[in-house]
Amino acid sequence: MSDYKIEDYTFAGLLARKSTMTSLAYLIGLADSPVHKIADPDVAGPILSWLYDVEEQCRDAGRILERQEMFFGRFFSGGYLPQTPVMLTDRWSPISSVLGQGLEPITLKRSSRGNATGIWAPIEINGAPEIQTSKTPEQLFWAIFAKVCERAIGRGMFVSLIAKPGWAYDSPGILPKWSAAETSAADRVIWRRTPEN
């Protein structure tokens, strides 16, 4: 039996109050410890907001890595590696989906402001869709989650997942165009926010 109620981590469950918001932002990363500070909602929330804005300003991998290291240093000394840009969904939460699949986190916390953040031990996920052919936000999430779990196993790390309602799914902003090589140099498995862009 899980210590966590799935309904607390659905999109509706994460909304801090009645709202017209329909989108949720999330970030999948790697953490070097199951007790990393990225598992604190008061740390994860500002990182999610900051990274969303900065991603649109960085024209190359070197610049985003440099800027994230400086900003993250305000909260912790290292050991956290984003694997995606800030991703967007429409009225759906990846955390409730992971919990619904019976994947119990090592830690999972939420704040009164709707931030939720957790750390999972990586597992092998068979039958996940491919990133390139994913048609829905849910398919894309599971494709990415499987790839990040694979990386976490290979690097001896843990999987971090941050989510927060907000932003606008229909207006995901404009990420600079990066090649596959630039995406890899930034240590990301994908460089787009939704299946459509």
Residue 196 included in any domain? no
User: Is the model's pLDDT at 197 over the cut of 80?
Assistant: no
Residue 92 CB neighbours (<10 A): 19
- pLDDT averaged over the chain? 91
pLDDT (mean) for 90-100 = 95
Residue 186 included in any domain? no
Residue 140 included in any domain? yes
> Residue 24 is part of which domain span?
6-168
Residue 62 included in any domain? yes
Residue 97 included in any domain? yes
Instruction: Give the pLDDT confidence score for residue 17 in this predicted structure.
Output: 67
Residue 19 included in any domain? yes
Residue 128 included in any domain? yes
Number of domains present in the structure of the chain: 1
Residue 49 included in any domain? yes
